[in-house]
A = this chain, B = another copy of it.
Amino acid sequence: MKVVMAQKILRANEQVARENRERLKHLPTVNLISSPGAGKTTLLERTIQALRGEVNVGVIEGDIYTTRDAERIAGQGAAVVQVNTAGLCHLDANMVGRALDQLDLAGLDLLFIENVGNLVCPAEFDLGEDYKVALLSVAEGGDKPVKYPLVFRESQAVVINKSDLLAYTDFDINKVQEEIRTINPDILIFVTSAATGEGTEGWYAWLREIVRKKRSATG
């Protein structure tokens, strides 16, 4: 019975996700998914800084109750809309649709959706985005892709973050990359420290590329 209900929710979600995708057809959109504390907000802050004057970034901030992350993003001068899920553990397409109403979509070059901190449920909900990106912190341990494969299978890129902690953990970066590629052979992998900036250039280059690609595709 539980499974049937879950499927119903997902079916309704798919319809709204299609409407969102239509509204976003000129705007490249990235859905960031990770466990709590993997560094999504810190990576976004640094990304907005790095692309300032070149790529106009908007952010939809998903959080269960607080507006802490949205305040951090607003502090960077980016357009931000907060979505409070009021207890729910993931964003769905309806919530994102309501957030899109609040944004000047024509004035943006790139839209991030920062999902609720949860490596499991957010991967099941299409929000109408172009790309899912999984973040994995070095401090979480290298077994996470094998234990939580869905988000890595659904994502076009993964950011292995907190590389500044590699020396203090038993995280085997080569083995983890192999295991991620076993789950998803086509996934792009970036190894970064959002705290220090190490490794972020490749990430920015990919973002510039997806902006350029959608511009040339949609004229």
Q: Is A129's beta carbon under 8 Å from chain B? A: no
Q: Is A121's beta carbon under 8 Å from chain B? A: yes
A163 to chain B, nearest CB (A): 12
- A147 touching B35 by the CB < 8 A rule? no
Q: Is A66's beta carbon under 8 Å from chain B? A: yes
- Report chain B residues within 8 Å CB of A148: 36, 64, 117
In the complex, chain A residues 121-151 whose Cβ is within 8 Å of any chain B Cβ: 121, 124, 137, 139-141, 143-144, 146-150
Q: Mark A34-59, 1 if CB is under 8 A from B, else 0.
A: 01111000000000000000000000
Q: Is A83's beta carbon under 8 Å from chain B? A: no
- B144 touching A165 by the CB < 8 A rule? no
Q: Is A9's beta carbon under 8 Å from chain B? A: yes
Interface centre among A88, A89, A150 (most CB of B within 10 A): A89
- A120 touching B68 by the CB < 8 A rule? no
Q: Is A113's beta carbon under 8 Å from chain B? A: no
Contact of A36 among B35, B64, B168 (CB under 8 A): B35
Contact of A168 among B2, B141, B168 (CB under 8 A): B168
- A162 touching B139 by the CB < 8 A rule? yes
Given A9-B2, A66-B147, A146-B68, A121-B89 contact (CB < 8 Å):
yes
- B117 touching A119 by the CB < 8 A rule? yes
How far is A150 from B66 in the complex, measured between Cα atoms in Å? 13
Given A68-B143, A139-B37, A148-B64, A119-B118 contact (CB < 8 Å):
yes
Contact of A137 among B88, B117, B139 (CB under 8 A): B139
A140 to chain B, nearest CB (A): 3
26 A–B contacts, CB within 8 A, in A order: A2-B9, A35-B35, A35-B37, A36-B119, A36-B140, A36-B144, A36-B147, A37-B137, A37-B141, A37-B143, A64-B147, A66-B146, A68-B147, A87-B124, A89-B120, A89-B121, A116-B120, A117-B120, A117-B144, A118-B120, A121-B121, A137-B140, A139-B139, A139-B165, A164-B168, A165-B168
